[in-house]
């Protein structure tokens, strides 16, 4: 923030004061990163979800109304196990849930999840327990216009808005998919960065944080390096993006794509599931999707490959490509698959390795500030090249109502300020 100038600073102060006065209730201080958006596109995103109880794979999938196979592949769990969809996953297991992140009312969120209430449910048990803090009871209340949260009808269907970000599918100009991560009491920013192969600085930039202090219940956007596709816009799996070390299933379960390790290039091949699929052979060749031939010549290595090119109108597009490469490629490397988990290895899923102590800074910082985010979080001030983000309160009805428009307003205001400076 070296190029801050006085005009900009006073604008910031003015806006901060506006934020403070309009947020009447600023007692709660869980923060979540909000990404303003303007068009109706969507992207793939991930939710970091901790199971509140033992659940079958299919039950986890139906909580979020996603494909059970997609949940398994996103976590690199071997789908060839017999009856894997009915496998019982242990309580407290941490899973990445793939979701579709849309643009609703000017901010990124996922709004396709519905929950049918059961006896003894309360809004807070649904928010804090069933959805593991990914949503607050006030957000559920607001999304469903519930006036009296003490009377929930059993069997009532509730919309559960969930946090997600796209940030253009990039982080520092490299392909990335964003994980919405709920901070737990044992977490430090350093440990989260280490766990997801990123840096503290990157996490702070993405989440527009002014300090390294994080709190239990905050929701961070964690960028995961990923392999991006370049399918045509009219393909139904356009913008498919697969995080490093995992898989995705597409084309009606016919094609499986993986990412890494090593080269971060999307590699797609026929899926191993027993489903009837249209031909995956490339025209004018005997190669199938995922096959390639390599021929060493004096000029280099002549590689011909048959690649998956997206799912269009219910059919699998294949493209044959030939290129001359300096060296012949080695055998395709796949991310290691794991067996369906049966137990949570004591806290290994939760706190991988003791993080380097970074508490010096955190104890100096106030535990909860009046303003949900500091000047560092103003969207227009995010470092060039980094995604633009803004943090906002997630826990109070008044706040969430008041802050969303302000987040977008700030965004456009700063674009304007930059334009005139």
Ligand X SMILES: *[C@@H]1O[C@H](CO)[C@@H](O)[C@H](O)[C@H]1NC(C)=O
Provide the binding-site residues for ligand X, judged by CB under 6 A: 42, 100, 102, 168-170, 197, 225, 234, 244-245, 260-261, 264, 269-270, 288, 290-291, 297, 302, 304, 312-313, 322, 324
User: Nearer Cβ to ligand X, position 38 or 322?
Assistant: 322
CB of 7 to ligand X, least distance (A): 25
User: Nearer Cβ to ligand X, position 31 or 247?
Assistant: 247
User: Nearer Cβ to ligand X, position 149 or 300?
Assistant: 300
User: Nearer Cβ to ligand X, position 44 or 400?
Assistant: 44
CB of 206 to ligand X, least distance (A): 13
User: Nearer Cβ to ligand X, position 234 or 353?
Assistant: 234
CB of 239 to ligand X, least distance (A): 9
CB of 269 to ligand X, least distance (A): 5
User: Nearer Cβ to ligand X, position 133 or 290?
Assistant: 290
User: Nearer Cβ to ligand X, position 32 or 170?
Assistant: 170
User: Nearer Cβ to ligand X, position 322 or 348?
Assistant: 322
Token look-up 């006896």 returns 119
CB of 109 to ligand X, least distance (A): 11
CB of 155 to ligand X, least distance (A): 25
User: Nearer Cβ to ligand X, position 290 or 341?
Assistant: 290
The residues that bridge with 228 in the sheet, in sequence order, are 241
CB of 405 to ligand X, least distance (A): 21
User: Nearer Cβ to ligand X, position 138 or 237?
Assistant: 237
CB of 100 to ligand X, least distance (A): 4
CB of 120 to ligand X, least distance (A): 32
Asked if residue 332 lies in contact with residue 305, where contact means CB atoms within 8 angstroms, the answer is no
Rounded Cα–Cα distance for residues 232 and 230 (Å): 6
SS3 of the chain: the string is CCCCCHHHHHHHHHHHHHHHHHCCCCCCCCEEEECECCCCCCEEEEEEEECCCCEEHHHHHHHHCCCHHHHHHHCCECCCCCCHHHCEECCCCEEEEEEEEEEECCEEEECCCEEECCCCCCHHHHHHHHCCCCCCHHHHHHHCCCCCCCCCCCCCEEECCEECCCHHHEECCEEEEEEEEECCCCCCHHHHHHHCCCCHHHHHHHCCCCCCCCCCCCEEEEEEEEEECCCCCCCCCCCCEEECCCEEEECCCCEEEEECCCCCCEEEEECCCCCCCCCCECCCCCCECCCEEEEEECCEEEEEEEEEEEEECCEEEEEEEEEEECCCCCCCCCCCCECCCCCCCCCCCCCCCCCCCCHHHHHHCCCCCCCCCCHHHCHHHCCCCCCCCEEEECCCHHHHHHHHHHHHHHHHHHHHHHHHC
Tokens, residue 187? 């977490």
CB of 257 to ligand X, least distance (A): 13
| Helices 6-22, 397-420: inter-axial angle, 10-degree rounding | 160
Rounded Cα–Cα distance for residues 127 and 304 (Å): 51
């Amino acid at each position: 923030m070296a190029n801050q100038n006085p005009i900009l600073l006073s604008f910031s102060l003015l806006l901060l004061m506006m934020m403070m006065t309009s947020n009447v209730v600023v007692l709660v201080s869980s923060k979540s990163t909000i990404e303003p958006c303007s068009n109706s596109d969507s992207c793939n995103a991930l939710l970091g979800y901790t199971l509140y109880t033992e659940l079958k794979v299919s039950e986890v999938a139906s909580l979020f109304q996603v494909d059970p196979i997609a949940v398994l592949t996103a976590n690199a769990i071997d789908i060839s196990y017999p009856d894997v969809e009915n496998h019982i996953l242990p309580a407290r297991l941490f899973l990445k849930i793939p979701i579709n992140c849309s643009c609703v009312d000017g901010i990124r969120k996922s709004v396709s999840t519905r929950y049918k209430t059961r006896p003894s449910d309360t809004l807070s048990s649904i928010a804090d327990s069933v959805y593991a803090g990914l949503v607050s009871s006030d957000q559920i209340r607001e999304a469903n216009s519930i006036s009296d949260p003490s009377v929930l009808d059993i069997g009532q269907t509730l919309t559960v808005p969930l946090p997600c970000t796209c940030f253009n599918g990039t982080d520092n100009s490299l392909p990335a998919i964003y994980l919405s991560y709920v901070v737990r009491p044992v977490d430090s920013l350093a440990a989260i960065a280490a766990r997801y192969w990123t840096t503290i600085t990157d996490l702070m930039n993405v989440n527009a944080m002014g300090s390294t202090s994080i709190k239990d219940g905050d929701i961070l956007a964690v960028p995961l390096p990923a392999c991006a596709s370049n399918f045509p816009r009219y393909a139904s799996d356009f913008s498919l993006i697969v995080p490093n070390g995992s898989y995705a299933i597409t084309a009606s379960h016919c094609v499986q794509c993986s990412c890494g390790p090593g080269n971060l290039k999307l590699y797609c091949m026929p899926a191993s599931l027993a489903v009837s699929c249209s031909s995956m052979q490339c025209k004018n060749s005997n190669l199938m999707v995922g096959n390639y031939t390599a021929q060493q010549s004096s000029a280099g290595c002549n590689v011909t490959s048959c690649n998956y090119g997206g799912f269009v109108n219910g059919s699998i597009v294949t493209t044959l490509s030939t290129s001359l490469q300096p060296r012949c490629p080695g055998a395709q490397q796949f991310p290691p698959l794991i067996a369906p988990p049966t137990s949570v290895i004591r806290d290994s899923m939760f706190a991988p390795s003791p993080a380097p102590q970074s508490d010096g800074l955190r104890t100096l910082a106030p535990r909860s500030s009046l303003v949900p985010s500091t000047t560092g979080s103003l969207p227009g001030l995010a470092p060039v090249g980094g995604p633009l983000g803004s943090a906002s309160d997630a826990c109070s009805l008044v706040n969430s109502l008041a802050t969303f428009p302000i987040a977008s307003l700030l965004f456009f205001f700063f674009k304007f300020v930059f334009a005139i400076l």
